[in-house]
């Protein structure tokens, strides 16, 4: 049995702000069938502590970045957990990274350095009777883990991995926090964790971890370019032999359609229209479930929207984010009867959108993997996606070749512009007007493998290779 310590700042269903939580919650279960036992270390936010109950204390630290802390072992939601109970760092109102005012907690560098510090301690054997083979760190919040382990316990048996879920978030801290974060002065250089005069938690992992993974093969290639690497492309090119793209999957048990075939979507589409206040239409009902940001390309949809409506299509959108985009979609909803918008997030409504929609729109300018299009495939809600990152790797385009071969599952467009998206929506509406072709694409989508089976095997093989080469 391979023993893995997975370190993450969020984990579904306990705490979630995005796709990282879904991956952190689903991957351990998929790995178990591959002979991998995962224990997940995450911060003791109030919601997490409420979910696990009392638990069992397995480690203490009397001086963890400003206060005392303990690690609680517990089981919850089918996960084997190690929860970092550090009230001075995590027992506070607000989201995991943001205060009630919507701004980053000013001590985020210390909060997640603490998570990494404890991860390194556990990887070095601080929990009695358990010495993990692998320290698997997710994103910048766990980025100092490999460095702390190397500096504090260079003889530890655990091999280290960092998984990049989104390179745009790098965990930057001012250089004056070098000692506060317990970092070696030697690392404050170009070949270390220094990033334009600041400290980068993500870069610390990229230059220290034994292996680097990211969440799709195409994104792995994109990361080594100036366009997508966010200033870390040079580091990643130097480590190209240690960089591997492994597609994310979804938990197919929790994301299981309440119907066996596309015909079952009809009543959910009717319910969705009623919920969102939309009438009947001759074109496809398109849905969006997304953060409203420039990265997600939703400004392109604003420009392309009249074309969809001219073709008889509709739009139902659930999301929040950039206030300019929120206002633009709210204005579109007031102007066009075929547009309905809900600002915010509602898990029940999000599922209804995916259950009842005809197509799901994901026009991201960059997308490391994306889970939304995978949910769409699972439910026969045809993805319309930009050709980038994991969107390129998971959707088989309805090109002439894809249609002739009978394998198409969605529509891709490139370049990532409003004009290209308008043409993609034209294509969507044209296919929708061909019921037999549309049904074939829906069935293909619902058959497409979106679970963790294959990817879990790739992670298990990576773990095995690290252990054998140690």
Q: Which residues are annotated as a binding site for ADP-alpha-D-glucose?
A: 16
Q: Would you state the structure tokens that stand for residue 409, as one six-digit string? A: 């599952």
Cα-flanking dihedrals φ and ψ of residue 61, to 5°? -140, 115
Cα-flanking dihedrals φ and ψ of residue 347, to 5°? -60, -40
Residue 383 half-sphere exposure toward CB, CA atoms < 13 A: 33
The radius of gyration of the chain from alpha carbons, rounded to an integer in Å, stands at: 23
**Cα(146)–Cα(7) distance, integer angstroms:** 11
**Cα(333)–Cα(335) distance, integer angstroms:** 5
Cα-flanking dihedrals φ and ψ of residue 75, to 5°? -125, 135
Sequence-distant (≥ 6) Cβ neighbours of residue 238 within 8 angstroms? none
Within a 10 A sphere around the Cβ of 54, how many other Cβ atoms? 8
Strands lying side by side in the sheet with 194-195: 172-174, 198-200, 194-195
Contact 104, 92 (CB under 8 A): no
Please tell me what DSSP assigns to residue 105: P
**Cα(52)–Cα(77) distance, integer angstroms:** 9
**Cα(96)–Cα(343) distance, integer angstroms:** 21
204: closest CA among 126, 111, 107, 117? 117
Contact 38, 7 (CB under 8 A): no
Question: What are the helix (H) ranges across 224-264?
Answer: 233-238
150: closest CA among 137, 139, 169? 137
Question: Per the annotation, where are the binding residues?
Answer: 16
Contact 215, 23 (CB under 8 A): yes
345: closest CA among 95, 50, 99? 95
């Amino acid at each position: 049995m391979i023993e893995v310590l997975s370190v993450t700042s969020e984990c579904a269903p306990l705490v979630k702000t995005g796709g990282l939580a879904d991956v952190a919650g689903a991957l351990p279960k998929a790995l178990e069938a591959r002979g991998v036992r995962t224990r997940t270390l995450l911060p003791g936010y109030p919601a997490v502590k409420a979910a696990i109950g009392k638990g069992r204390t397995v480690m203490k630290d009397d001086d963890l970045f400003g206060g005392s802390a303990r690690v609680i072992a517990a089981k919850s939601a089918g996960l084997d957990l190690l929860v970092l109970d550090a009230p001075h760092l995590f027992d506070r109102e607000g989201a995991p990274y943001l205060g009630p005012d919507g701004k980053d907690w000013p001590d985020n560098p210390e909060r997640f350095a603490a998570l990494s510090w404890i991860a390194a301690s556990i990887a070095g054997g601080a929990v009695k009777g358990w010495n993990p083979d692998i320290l698997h760190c997710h994103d910048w919040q766990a980025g100092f883990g490999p460095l702390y382990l190397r500096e504090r316990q260079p003889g530890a048996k655990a091999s280290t991995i960092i998984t990049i879920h989104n390179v745009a978030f790098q965990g930057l801290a001012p250089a004056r926090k070098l000692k506060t974060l317990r970092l070696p002065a030697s690392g404050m250089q170009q070949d270390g964790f220094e990033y334009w005069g600041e400290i980068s938690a993500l870069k610390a992992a990229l230059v220290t971890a034994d292996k680097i993974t990211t969440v799709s093969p195409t994104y792995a290639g994109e990361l080594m370019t100036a366009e997508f690497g966010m200033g870390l492309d040079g580091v990643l090119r130097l480590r190209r032999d240690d960089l591997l793209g492994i597609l994310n999957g979804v938990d197919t048990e929790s994301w299981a359609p309440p119907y066996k075939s596309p015909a079952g979507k009809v009543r959910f589409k009717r319910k969705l229209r009623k919920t969102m206040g939309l009438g009947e239409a001759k074109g496809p009902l398109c849905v969006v479930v997304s953060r409203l940001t420039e990265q997600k390309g939703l400004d392109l949809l604003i420009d392309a929207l009249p074309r969809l409506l001219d073709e008889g299509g509709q739009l139902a959108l659930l999301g929040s984010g950039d206030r300019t985009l929120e206002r633009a979609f709210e204005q579109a909803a007031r102007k066009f009867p075929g547009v309905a918008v809900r600002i915010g997030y509602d898990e029940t409504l999000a599922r209804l959108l995916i259950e009842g929609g005809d197509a799901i729109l994901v026009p991201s300018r960059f997308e490391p993997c994306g889970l939304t299009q995978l949910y769409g495939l699972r439910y026969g809600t045809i993805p319309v996606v930009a050709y980038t990152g994991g969107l390129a790797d998971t959707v088989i385009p309805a090109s002439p070749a894809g249609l002739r071969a009978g394998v198409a599952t969605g529509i891709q467009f490139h370049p990532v512009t409003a004009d290209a998206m308008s043409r993609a929506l034209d294509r969507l509406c044209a296919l929708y007007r061909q019921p037999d072709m549309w049904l074939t694409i829906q069935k293909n989508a619902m058959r497409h493998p979106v679970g963790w089976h294959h990817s879990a095997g790739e992670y298990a093989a990576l773990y095995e290779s690290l252990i054998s080469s140690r």
